[in-house]
Structure 1
Amino acid sequence: MEFDISWILLGLPLAFVLGWAASRFDLRQLRAENRRAPKAYFKGLNFLLNEQQDQAIDAFIEAVQNDPDTSELHFALGNLFRRRGEYDRAVRVHEHLLSRGDLGRSDRERAQYALALDFLKAGLLDRAEDALTRLEATPFEAQARLALLAIYERSRDWPHAAAIARKMHDARQGDFSTRQAHYLCEQAQACIANDDRPAALALLNQALAAAPDAARARIDLARLQQRMGDSDAALDTLKALSRQAPAALPLAAPLLVETALATNRKSEVQALLHAHYAEAASLDVLEGIVALEATDAAGPAVARQRYVQHLDQEQSLVAAAKWLAAEKLEHEEFHPQVQRALDHAAKPLTRYRCAACGFEARQHFWQCPGCQSWDSYPARRVEEL
């Protein structure tokens, strides 16, 4: 059978026509997809601006399906999932980004940070810690360290918290010396609970060296010294507190009274308390003065007159209630009821209040139980603020 070249001549135009038609079809499809992708993106943006997050998520999912290689859409979708509390979906989006081999370094680091935030918001602290440690030597290093610090504080992992604070301090990301002192004091308290007083003493001295002006280290050190029977050393530590951090002296007033009664330096402590009270009238310092003067020859009755003198300076319901407690009234049979009413009214005024969140507590905290802020409790009662 002879080959007929005419078939080739007829087939070439046909192949050209079919190729042209196929290219036109692909081009139309590509244009349609490109039109759909921006349309879905802008639709999602419009929903987001109108705070319609459900519709925005649906629109962004459609945009991602039309263009799965667009990393920005993935980031937007992941952030939306996180804001809505759908942390498992946010994790899947960011893990998908990290699994892509074509992702640039900056986008990879950004995805790693977003994944760490997903774990953190979900309360998966161990996975968040692992994700955050991978961000060392990246542009997200500072934010990652702050997040790690929050994790270690939340889990009360004070050694790791101290290490991170030291890194941030050395990197000039802020002054973390006082924070480091707090971590060392927390470790010292754990040692005291385990009856390891030498280790606690060493940690408190480290805290004092890290932050000489921090009040907590001196108060905790004085309390430990008093417990170990070295009242003179405890008193010297508290005198240094009055020089380095005088605003915190009201917190140490009961301990000052205890050390004064355990040593022969009562007049020295009285002079210290009187000098501080003259500069800043404080209920706790007043209590210390009354406690010491009540042991003098003049007796408790004269000491209680300090409450009346305080009322000349401050309108204090707490001081009035304390003075009235030991006084004889004309109708003495009604004294218990009146005293209970006064004590009940004065009780909220003796609390401490966090300056950051307003959380009130009967005792003073170095770290607020409400907002977790450090040193946010003034050393003064609510009535004195």
Structure 2
Amino acid sequence: MEFDLTWLLLGLPLAFGLGWLASRLDLRQLREDNRRAPKAYFKGLNYLLNEQQDQAIDVFIEAVQNDPDTTELHFALGNLFRRRGEYNRAVRVHEHLLSRGDLSRSDRERAQHALAQDFLKAGLLDRAEDALRRLEGTPYEAQARMALLAIYERSRDWGQASDIAQRMQASGQGDFSTRQAHYLCEQALTLATRGELPAARSLLEQAITAAPQAARARIELAHLQQRQGQADAALATLQAVADTTPAALALAAPLLVEAAVAGGRTQQVGALLRQHYADMPSLDLLDAVVALEGAGGASPEAARQWYVRHLEKEASLVAATKWLAGERLEHEQYHPQIQRALEQASKPLTRYRCAACGFEARQHFWQCPGCQSWDSYPARRVEEL
């Protein structure tokens, strides 16, 4: 059978035409898909800018269903769910991303970081810890370590917190020596509560070595020494506080008075307190001076004259209230009511206030109970700020 070249000549143009038509159809479909994807982005973005999160989520969900391989839409959708507090849905979105085998390494690390944030926001600290530890060696390592540090501080796992802080300092993320000292102090307080005083003292000495400029370790050590009946040692430790961080001496003023009376050194400590009060007047130092004046043999009236001297320098309702408590009024029968009203009015002024979040408390905290910041409470009362 002879082959007819005529069919070949006719078939080649036909095959070419069909191929060209198919390519045009594929290009048209591709262009339509590309138009639809940006349109979904812009439509969702428009809803976000108008703070219409529900509509934005609907648009992004529809876009993800039409094109499940679009990772950016998954990230946008997961972040929206997290912002709305729908943490379970955010977790599902990011876990779905991590389950994909075609995900690039950078997108996988990004999804892992987003999943850790979902768990943190949801308060699932165990799962958040595991997710954050998977970010070691990634571009999100520094952020993950900071989040881990917050978790361990929140759960009061001071050993783990110390380990993370050491690694952060070694990697150049900052100076964490003061925090390390706080962690050692927290562990020492736990040991002291259990009666393990030598071990507690050892940790406090380590804290002083770690952060010589921080006052807390020395103040806690002085408390421990006073508890063990070592008044002279406590006074020596508090003298070191006065030398290294004089602003913090006000926090140790009641302990100074106690140690001075116990050690029979009221004159010496009184001179120290008067000197520091002259340099930086403080209500706590003022109370300590008045207490030592009385312990040293001065009459109550003479001791309370320090409140008058303070009032000559600064208008202080707290100082006025304390001075008036020992005075006799012309209408003495009204004194209790007046004194009670003044004490009630001055009570808020004797609190401490966090400089980071404004949380107020009657006692001084080294870590704010409100915002968890360290060393955010000045060693001064609200009235002195």
Q: TM-score, normalised by structure 1?
A: 0.93
2 CA distance for matches of 1:98 and 1:358? 41
Alpha-carbon distance between aligned partners in 2 of 1:154 and 1:206, rounded to the nearest angstrom? 23
Give the Cα–Cα distance (whole angstroms) in 1 for the partners of residues 328 and 282 of structure 2.
26
Whole-angstrom CA distance in 2 between matches of 1:277 and 1:309: 12
CA distance in 1, matches of 2:41, 2:343: 64
Check whether the contact 2:189–2:200 (CA below 8 A) recurs between aligned residues: yes
Q: Which residue of 2 aligns with 1:258?
A: 258
Task: Report the secondary structure of 1:373's partner residue.
Answer: coil
Report 1:98-177 matches (<5 A).
Answer: 98-177=98-177
Unaligned runs of 5+ in 2: none
Q: CA deviation at 1:188?
A: 1.0
Distance of 2:154 and 2:298 partners within structure 1: 51
Q: Which residue of 2 aligns with 1:269?
A: 269
Distance 2:40 2:70 in 1: 13
Greater Cα shift, 274-283 or 59-68: 59-68
Q: Which amino acid is the alignment partner of residue 303 of structure 2?
A: A
The secondary structure found in structure 1 opposite 2:212 is: coil
Distance 2:27 2:173 in 1: 53
Q: SS where residue 295 of structure 2 aligns? A: coil
Query: Once structures 1 and 2 are overlaid, which stretch shifts more, 181-190 or 248-257?
Result: 181-190
* Structure 1 match to 2:64: 64
Q: Determine the structure 2 residue equivalent to 1:79.
A: 79
Alignment of 1:19-58 (within 5 A): 28-58=28-58
**Distance in 1 between residues matched to 2:330 and 2:34, nearest whole Å:** 93
Counterpart for residue 184 of structure 1: 184
Do the aligned residues in 1 keep the contact of 2:267 with 2:296 (CA within 8 Å)? no
Q: Secondary structure at the match of 1:375?
A: coil
Distance of 1:332 and 1:144 partners within structure 2: 65
2:336 is matched with 336
- The CA distance in 1 between the partners of 2:166 and 2:264, in whole Å, is 42
Unaligned runs of 5+ in 1: none
Equivalent residue for 1:221?
A: 221
What pairs up with 1:263-302 in 2 under 5 angstroms? 263-302=263-302
**1:352–1:361 contact (8 Å) kept in structure 2:** yes
Write out per-residue CA displacement over residues 54-95 of structure 1, whole angstroms, 9 at most, x where no aligned residue: 111111122222222222221111111111111111111111
Query: What does residue 379 of structure 1 align with?
Result: 379
Query: Structure 1 residue 25: deviation in Å?
Result: 5.7
Residue in 2 aligned with 1:236? 236
Question: What is the deviation of 1:185?
Answer: 0.8
Alignment deviations for residues 293-332 of structure 1 (CA, whole Å, 9 cap, x no partner): 1123332221111111111111111111111111111111
The answer as to whether partners of 1:37 and 1:66 remain within 8 angstroms in 2 is: no
Q: Read off the aligned partner of 2:84 and give its amino acid letter.
A: R
SS at match of 1:365: coil
Tell me, what secondary structure is at the counterpart of 1:294? helix
- Contact 2:218–2:237 under 8 Å retained in 1: yes
In 2, Cα distance between the equivalents of 1:161 and 1:143?
Answer: 15
Contact 1:33 1:66 in 2 (8 A): no
Letter of the structure 2 residue corresponding to residue 311 of structure 1: L
- What is the alpha-carbon distance in structure 2 between the residues aligned to residue 181 and residue 209 of structure 1? 8
Matched-pair identity in %: 74
2:312 aligns with: 312
Per-residue CA distance 1:28-75 (angstroms, 9 max, x = gap) = 544433332222222112212222111111111222222222222211
TM-score normalized with structure 2 length: 0.93
RMSD: 2.4
C-alpha distance in 2 between matches for 1:213 and 1:141:
29
CA contact (8 A) 2:359 2:370 kept: yes
